[in-house]
Chain A
Amino acid sequence: MFRSRFDIKSQPGFGFITLFTFFALYLPIGALVVYSFNDAESLSQWGGFSGRWFVAAWQNSAVQDAAIRSLIIALWAASLATVAALMAALATTRTAPYRGQTLKYAMINQPLMVPEIVTAVALLIVFSRIKVWTGYSGLGYLVLAHTAFCIPFAYLPIRARLESMDLTLERAAADLYASRWQTFRHVTLPLLRPAVIAGFMLAFVISLDDVVITEFVKSGGQDTLPTYMLGQLRRETTPEINAIATVFLALSTVLVVIFFFINRKKQ
């Protein structure tokens, strides 16, 4: 009788603070999106509803270049990181502990533990010297740097999936005279597919979002969308920046939603 009136789990005011938290989390993003449809020249007043800033951003060649560059880097980095992470995950799971395994874990997770600005500066030091030595200053440096910090993000879901899989099916395949490659291709990989896709998408979003490391590694004229936006923020901004941000936001939200559903199906 008593318990029906007295909820042991509730705490006074917590619901209110939660409401405030979600309000605070979504209000700035919401305002940003709303103002991308602002017809006025500046962000200070509301000039009516219009999509003209999306058109302006779409036709801005600097934005186009930066967006294409961002996508190229993210595709390369996420692909390379996923392959490397898949191999590393196969190498570090489903076995008795062996010497060096902890070292591998530490190395793979290292990019998560060092502040980005520190890695960025260290890469600036090394790559600026290599750029002088080799004369090459293409996108390769950015792809390499992005691949490195994407690996732990691709590795996490794949490793988690592998650890929940036992070796029964692979052993069955081996009993049926499948070669190691055939076993991997026809048994292990199909089972891993959701985790590999999830890992790739995480890596893709992480690469697409990166500002700090890109800002320090890029050569002249190699702006990605985030570094382009960072450069624009120094000036008086127009709703064009909001429009770019809104598209960006929509893209990463779609990816996260897909990721969420892939993960849910798995469970």
Chain B
Amino acid sequence: MNGAEQVAIEARKQDIRSRWLLSAPALVIIFVAAIGPLFVMLLYSFMVKGDYGDVKPWEFSLDGWTSVFFQRDIFDDTLGLADAHISIIWRSIQLSFFTTILTLILGFPTAYFIATRPPHTREIWVFLVTIPFWTNLLIRTFAMQQVIRNEGLLNNALIWLGIIKSPLQIIYTDTANLLGMTYVYLPLMVLPLYASIEKLDFRLVEAGYDLYATRFQVLRKIVIPLVKPGIIAGSILVFIPSLGAYVIPRVLGGGKNMMLGNLIEMQFGAGRNWPLGAAMSITLMIIVMVALIVYVRNASRGGSGHV
């Protein structure tokens, strides 16, 4: 008996060992080309910046981190707030927030509508949401650029309708960033919302109507609380890539309406301040991690609260 148990334990150990061996290639590749470099970047954020980019190896300083939020006055060497950085970081957070709200306003009714279609047509609707989702982000951004340009589709249509006389300056503004991100990230909101509305038990909705609730009351008091995990999942999925957006503000926002992603890139290009860029990247990652932790907590709570 004891011997058999011993054999079983030995076999299990061997099985686990071979499972580590089997997953090694994936883990090594991800470590070398994704996780490891993040640690190197952390190290770089504490080094002295080189004169022509890069860093002076093994000379440490906190300058990178302090200059994320502060700047030294060139005359009296006192520390003041780095207004430019703070306003770009703040703009990124605001734009990501409004993008989330806009995608929610459009995405929730869409997901609800799809989820209440008969099962065989649902699949087609979902498929239609998935296609833009898998379309190259750059191409979608470029498509948006053509729509909102001064001689673009939107302005031409508005002029043709007689609503405006001269084209609206939308491109190279924050509005362009907002429209672009809403357009590009909308499927990321619709898909998780659909997944959770599809599971909704409509007997509860019926019960609400039996108790003389209005349509709005049913939506507010029954539907929305029940699909909250989906709302949170969609919001996180939209908020995180918005915060790190790089291509969209570069193409649509122009030079004046940078977001955090472009500010980071600048430190590695013309700014030649790698430690600062590294510190900014880690700041961005921390914001994202906090958002993810909030999500995981909410999701697990929402899951246990579900009937």
Main SS at interface, chain A: helix
Contacts A84-B25, A121-B264 given; does A98 touch B19 at CB 8 Å: yes
B40 contacts A115, C-beta separation under 8 Å = no
Closest beta carbon of chain A to B220's beta carbon, Å: 11
Of the listed stretches B61-69, B76-84, B112-120, name the one at the interface; the rest are far from the partner chain. B112-120
A128 contacts B54, C-beta separation under 8 Å = yes
Residues in B whose Cβ lies below 8 Å from that of A32? 139, 142-143, 146
- The A142-162 residues at the B interface (CB cut-off 8 A) are 144-145, 147-149, 151, 155
Task: Determine whether A168 belongs to the interface, using a CB cutoff of 8 Å to chain B.
Answer: no
Contacts A12-B215, A126-B36, A229-B138 given; does A117 touch B284 at CB 8 Å: yes
Residues in B whose Cβ lies below 8 Å from that of A43? 146, 149, 151
Contacts A117-B284, A125-B44, A252-B134 given; does A241 touch B142 at CB 8 Å: yes
The one of A88, A122, A249 in contact with B136, judged by C-beta atoms closer than 8 angstroms, is A249
- The B222-268 residues at the A interface (CB cut-off 8 A) are 240-241, 243-244, 246-247, 250-251, 261, 264-265, 268
- The A10-64 residues at the B interface (CB cut-off 8 A) are 10-15, 17-18, 20-22, 24-29, 31-32, 35, 43-44
A233 contacts B142, C-beta separation under 8 Å = yes
- The B110-154 residues at the A interface (CB cut-off 8 A) are 110, 112-114, 116, 123, 127-132, 134-140, 142-147, 149, 151, 153
Residues in A whose Cβ lies below 8 Å from that of B23? 87-88, 91-92, 104
Task: Determine whether A226 belongs to the interface, using a CB cutoff of 8 Å to chain B.
Answer: yes
Interface 1/0 per residue, A176-219 and B, CB below 8 Å: 00000000000000000000000000000100110110001000
Task: Determine whether A256 belongs to the interface, using a CB cutoff of 8 Å to chain B.
Answer: yes
The distance in angstroms between the C-alpha atoms of A29 and B268, with both chains bound, is 33
The distance in angstroms between the C-alpha atoms of A28 and B190, with both chains bound, is 18
Of the listed stretches B158-166, B201-209, B298-306, name the one at the interface; the rest are far from the partner chain. B201-209
A113 contacts B33, C-beta separation under 8 Å = no
A125 contacts B274, C-beta separation under 8 Å = yes
| Minimum CB distance partner of A12 in chain B | B215
B33 contacts A25, C-beta separation under 8 Å = no
Closest beta carbon of chain B to A4's beta carbon, Å: 14
The distance in angstroms between the C-alpha atoms of A58 and B128, with both chains bound, is 29
The one of A84, A209, A264 in contact with B29, judged by C-beta atoms closer than 8 angstroms, is A84
| Minimum CB distance partner of A10 in chain B | B116
Task: Determine whether B34 belongs to the interface, using a CB cutoff of 8 Å to chain A.
Answer: yes
A229 contacts B142, C-beta separation under 8 Å = yes
Task: Determine whether A72 belongs to the interface, using a CB cutoff of 8 Å to chain B.
Answer: no
Task: Determine whether A123 belongs to the interface, using a CB cutoff of 8 Å to chain B.
Answer: yes
Interface 1/0 per residue, B1-44 and A, CB below 8 Å: 00000000000000110111111011101111111111011001
| Residue of B35, B143, B187 ringed by the most chain A CB atoms within 10 A | B143
Contacts A31-B146, A87-B26 given; does A118 touch B244 at CB 8 Å: yes
Task: Determine whether A119 belongs to the interface, using a CB cutoff of 8 Å to chain B.
Answer: yes
The distance in angstroms between the C-alpha atoms of A115 and B265, with both chains bound, is 13
B202 contacts A8, C-beta separation under 8 Å = yes
| Minimum CB distance partner of A124 in chain B | B268
The distance in angstroms between the C-alpha atoms of A99 and B38, with both chains bound, is 25
| Minimum CB distance partner of B107 in chain A | A21
| Residue of A21, A107, A110, A149 ringed by the most chain B CB atoms within 10 A | A21
Interface 1/0 per residue, B270-304 and A, CB below 8 Å: 00001001100110110010001000000000000
Residues in B whose Cβ lies below 8 Å from that of A229? 138-139, 142
The distance in angstroms between the C-alpha atoms of A92 and B22, with both chains bound, is 9
Contacts A28-B143, A114-B288 given; does A155 touch B136 at CB 8 Å: no
A205 contacts B241, C-beta separation under 8 Å = no
The distance in angstroms between the C-alpha atoms of A32 and B268, with both chains bound, is 33
Residues in B whose Cβ lies below 8 Å from that of A118? 38, 41, 244, 264, 281-282, 284-285
Contacts A32-B139, A44-B151, A125-B40 given; does A88 touch B132 at CB 8 Å: no
Closest beta carbon of chain A to B191's beta carbon, Å: 13
A84 contacts B183, C-beta separation under 8 Å = no
The distance in angstroms between the C-alpha atoms of A242 and B131, with both chains bound, is 18
Residues in A whose Cβ lies below 8 Å from that of B284? 115, 117-118
B251 contacts A11, C-beta separation under 8 Å = no
Task: Determine whether B86 belongs to the interface, using a CB cutoff of 8 Å to chain A.
Answer: no
Contacts A28-B143, A119-B37 given; does A211 touch B244 at CB 8 Å: no
Please, could you name 19 A-B residue pairs with CB atoms under 8 Å apart, sorted by A?
A: A27-B147, A84-B29, A98-B16, A111-B30, A114-B38, A115-B241, A117-B281, A118-B281, A121-B265, A125-B41, A126-B36, A126-B37, A145-B33, A147-B29, A148-B29, A212-B247, A216-B265, A229-B139, A242-B146
Q: Which residues of A contact B (CB under 8 A)?
A: 6, 8-15, 17-18, 20-22, 24-29, 31-32, 35, 43-44, 80-81, 83-85, 87-88, 90-92, 95, 98-100, 104, 107-108, 110-111, 113-119, 121-126, 128, 144-145, 147-149, 151, 155, 205, 208-209, 211-212, 216, 226, 229-230, 233, 241-242, 245, 248-249, 252-253, 255-256, 260, 264
